[in-house]
Amino acid sequence: MKALVIGSGGREHAIVWKLLQSPKVSKVYAAPGNGGTAGFVYESGKKCENVDLLGRDICEAEIQNALIRYVKKEKIGLTIVGPEAPLAAGIADRFNEAGLPVVGPEKKAAMLESSKAYAKSFMERYGVRAARSHTFTDAEKALEAAKKHFAGSREKAAVPPLVIKADGLAAGKGVVIASGIKEAEETIVSFMKDEKLGGAGKTVVLEEFLEGGEVSVLAAVSTGKAGCILPFAPARDHKRRFDNDQGPNTGGMGAIAPAPDFSAAARGDFEEAILKPTLKGIKAEGFDYRGFIFFGLMVKDASCRLLEYNVRLGDPETQAVLPLMKSDFAELCLSIVNGGLDSFSLTWKPGAVCAPVAVAEGYPGEYRKGDAIAFNETAFAKTGAVLFAAGAVRGPGGSGGSGLRTAGGRVLAVSAYGAGPEEAQRKAYAAMDAVAFEGMAYRRDIGWS
């Protein structure tokens, strides 16, 4: 079988890598892919080819049509959609109408990610345990609620922050944790009145601030007669740019799996309070949801609350979770699409995976581009790690070159497996030492403590 992976990030490179390990898969295409997806030497000796149908000037509908034509022409048996934007634009609906197997929920269900207000109303309707919140379409009312929240904060020093979330997709810029009224007012005005995020911020959700450890649970979902949600090994992203969780939020500076703070008790609590009601809701809404779901959890004392749903796999969590998965990923995807997920036996390696991300100088602000990425193959190979490219394209690599050049903020992840956390972390950083580019930066504390 041939497979197609839609997207261009590190997550998609990890999906390609894992798919190519399946005896069921002969070849993978990535649209548009990145410098790593194609040109990378896969252990299986099989290949991935990038297909660039996604020209900048063509509209979403044309992209979808072009992909469908390509899948038919190449007789591709399975398409996996990586990012949220095409799902929110209804790509799975188009594939389903054309009778082409696709892993990704229909547009209606993608609203669980594309509208935070919708996701919140879903959580309430089906009793999914989440942070308390209110949704506002009127800026004045939101400002009033923020004032009320912070009222008396001068006398009572310990008023908790207020979490302000733009309703729509905002590429990681839609959540602000305001620690005082001034910041809250500025955020509400910029989202709702000045439309800093375009339409995405016209509606906002004000949410209680939760404390605890964050855990990302990625899962496979398949509706149909025996609908089920099959959770993966828990993971943790590290969102802040600098060590010890300092500095601005990013798209993710590294991930580990399995995550700490997810004891058997916490997992049981997650299944009862979050997973089961979510499945009930997905069924009750009548969604055609055959894809992945991502539960962003806050866990405290083995009790879980849901912060967000994503309707796809996480990035960079996927780069840590897939190397830990023993099961055949293509078979898993086929059971999502064709049924049988409820009896799929998902198995995991016993150890741990650490996947720090290297970013370009300046990220998450304006960043450098076009630098050659050097790669010490012998030193890297000793660690057994895998390199997953993200913002990297093919280009002359310089001496000891990898054949890659930087082209994005998050450039690559190195993903190392170890028998335990300590070994995984040590190998991941040894692998990182074997990679170099001008302005390369990464956190040194991606790990379990």
Footprint of ligand AMP on this chain (CB under 6 A)? 131, 163, 165, 175, 177, 207-210, 214, 239, 296, 307-308
**13 vs 120, which CB is nearer to ligand AMP?**
120
> Least distance (Å) from ligand GLY to the CB of residue 59?
25
Verify binding: residue 12, ligand GLY, rule CB under 6 A: no
One-letter amino acid for residue 379 of the chain: A
> Least distance (Å) from ligand AMP to the CB of residue 308?
4
Verify binding: residue 252, ligand GLY, rule CB under 6 A: yes
Using CB under 6 A, pick the residue from 237, 269, 328, 371 that binds ligand GLY: 237
Verify binding: residue 314, ligand GLY, rule CB under 6 A: yes
> Least distance (Å) from ligand GLY to the CB of residue 252?
4
Closest CA to 448 of 412, 414, 418: 418
Let me know if 419 is exposed, middle or buried by CB neighbors in 10 A (0-12, 13-18, 19+).
exposed
Closest CA to 233 of 219, 213, 250: 219
- 45-to-17, 22, 169, 175 alpha-carbon distances in Å: 11, 12, 38, 43
| Cβ-Cβ contacts under 8 Å for 435 (sequence gap 6 or more) | 358, 373, 374, 375, 376, 380, 387, 402, 412, 414
Could you count the other beta carbons within 10 Å of the beta carbon of residue 154? 10
Q: Kindly give the pairing relationship between strand 102-103 and strand 78-81.
A: parallel
**232 vs 437, which CB is nearer to ligand GLY?**
232
**174 vs 418, which CB is nearer to ligand GLY?**
174
**106 vs 237, which CB is nearer to ligand GLY?**
237
> Least distance (Å) from ligand GLY to the CB of residue 169?
11
**85 vs 189, which CB is nearer to ligand GLY?**
85
One-letter amino acid for residue 446 of the chain: I
Q: Which does 310 bind (CB under 5 to 8 A by kind): ligand GLY, ligand AMP, none?
A: ligand GLY
**76 vs 163, which CB is nearer to ligand AMP?**
163
Using CB under 6 A, pick the residue from 317, 332, 393, 437 that binds ligand GLY: 317
d(CA 108, CA 276) in angstroms, rounded, equals 20
**Intra-chain end-to-end CA distance of the chain, in Å:** 42
Could you count the other beta carbons within 10 Å of the beta carbon of residue 90? 18
> Least distance (Å) from ligand AMP to the CB of residue 160?
9
Which residue ranges make up the site for ligand GLY (CB under 6 A)?
237, 252, 310, 314-315, 317
